[in-house]
Structure 1
């Protein structure tokens, strides 16, 4: 019956330690895609710990659950876990119910995030259609990859959906020089290709559902930063870091972002400095090692969960 407790301790340890370790590391800025992968593996490990602990706790509390969990297992495996001891029943049931409620709450937060995202997308598409109405006989704006809006503020953004759209204002067209416009559009297309919106929805839902869990709050904050850096790198591969940095400056110069800026815009100077400093990427061998190590993080809860059963098969 120690397996659920070990899994919960492991999950709590990862949720508390991982954000501190990654926050002190400078390599995610050099490798934002790898940083996103590591964060996803850490969060997956925490969620997997809770899921497995719920399954084993429920198996300890109720015979019917235990029969389903260990139905495909060979003889002797169930006894190795010691789940049939009656003393564990009351608190095991309470733990299973608590974890099940947490899982249901997580699902509810994800559904709410999806619903709100769809509502925001419909609202923005309606505003887009109002600002750029179709002429008689013109194709719907959803069918085109780029929409140009009349506007005094230099802006460019990506509108996700079944048919992602790039939107740019006439002020941005006037301000962006040379290949800067191409770099901005490539940045937004990088978001679309990588489906960064899905990752941002998941991180926002977990942070909203469990605001006191450090790993989920840090996951949301880091995702919002790293996806922008990853898109910057995607544009830099084609148009160069200096071009992307100048485009960021041109788009945000009038927003006061390079002075005391609001939180959502505070990362722009950091991104510009990162592009201009041009820190070298990590060696390929180190990137491969870190990728493999990140894959092993969600495997640790599986090892903890299956060690008693594997030991019984010897």
Structure 2
């Protein structure tokens, strides 16, 4: 079996098969931190596989990159005209598709970052500083909301309505939830996944990641807050916050989708729900790393064995 076929098989398995499989796996929500890692491993492995396919096709005998190298080395005549134009047309279409997908992803990422920046700038006119908590600013509004928008100064926004409804312990639970988002860079993962899903919308794994990863990261932050303040405290705090959409590029303690909030509350209120199975965690780490490394190994082995010049 040729390396290109092997790499294509790995890429198809990750890009088409892994997403639906993870979406149906109950253990992902039981151990959301590990489930999020599994999704990220599948995405990274698919990207590595797609890049490897483009590189192998481009550097193969009928690849445009190989032809350019042949021309530069003045040995075009060694197999000039062999194979016809079809392989080169396919390679050109593949390269154009790869560049177009990269442009879509970069444009989507930049647009999200720009909208997040505009939201941060607008906040400066409507919030006041919280004297008691150094990383929090207060939005004077009766609707109880809390969310974070990554910035160097006071990235957590809490409305006055939330401060009125939450007691001190519940407020600390909400802040622990938002700080977990910031500490583990959840916003960065979601922004990158959203950009990739916009570019590779035809792959089920990317569509599924954009849909499933946000709630897994919310559950992961719930776990951090629960370890600090207790499951019941986190659940009560979430019930007191209003259901509202998160700002672009931000992460809110409350879910905009009622069904997602119900899933989080049911999980917090089930005593055995929050668990971290060491065997599942180790297996997921190994699987995620293998998903990323295997396409690279196949590509590197083929490139090392292939004579680039005649």
**Structure 2 equivalent of residue 290 of structure 1:** 284
Of 265, 273, 287, the residue aligned with 2:266 is 273
Contact 2:64 2:88 (C-alpha < 8 Å) held by counterparts = no
Deviation at 1:94, TM superposition (A): 3.1
Q: TM-score of the superposition, structure 2-length normalised?
A: 0.80
Taking a change above 3 Å as real, the CA distance of residues 88 and 161 of structure 1, as seen in their structure-2 partners, is farther
Q: 5+ residue gaps in structure 1?
A: 70-83, 256-261
Contact 1:4 1:54 (C-alpha < 8 Å) held by counterparts = no
Find the aligned partners of 1:86 and 1:10 in 2 and give their Cα distance: 32
User: Deviations 1:263-289 (Å, cap 9, x if unpaired)?
Assistant: 734311110111111325243233212
2:243 aligned with 1:250, yes or no? no
Find the aligned partners of 1:121 and 1:253 in 2 and give their Cα distance: 20
**Structure 1 equivalent of residue 248 of structure 2:** none
Deviation at 1:113, TM superposition (A): 2.7
Query: Which structure ranks higher in relative contact order (CA pairs < 8 Å, sequence separation ≥ 6)?
Result: 2
Q: TM-score of the superposition, structure 1-length normalised?
A: 0.80
| Higher mean C-alpha displacement, 177-186 vs 292-301 | 292-301
Higher helix share: 1
Deviation at 1:190, TM superposition (A): 0.6
Contact 1:43 1:216 (C-alpha < 8 Å) held by counterparts = yes
**Structure 2 equivalent of residue 301 of structure 1:** 295
**Structure 2 equivalent of residue 72 of structure 1:** none
**Structure 2 equivalent of residue 19 of structure 1:** 19
Of 103, 108, 112, the residue aligned with 2:103 is 108
Q: 5+ residue gaps in structure 2?
A: 71-78, 246-254
Find the aligned partners of 1:281 and 1:89 in 2 and give their Cα distance: 59
Find the aligned partners of 1:31 and 1:247 in 2 and give their Cα distance: 22
Question: Number of residue pairs matched?
Answer: 285
Say which SS state the counterpart of residue 281 (structure 1) adopts.
coil
Please list every run of at least 4 consecutive aligned residues from structure 1 whose deviation after the TM superposition is greater than 6 angstroms.
66-69, 309-312
What are the residue-to-residue correspondences of 1:1-314 with 2, within 5 Å? 2-60=2-60, 61-62=62-63, 65=66, 88=83, 90-132=85-127, 145-163=135-153, 165-252=155-242, 264-278=257-271, 279-306=273-300
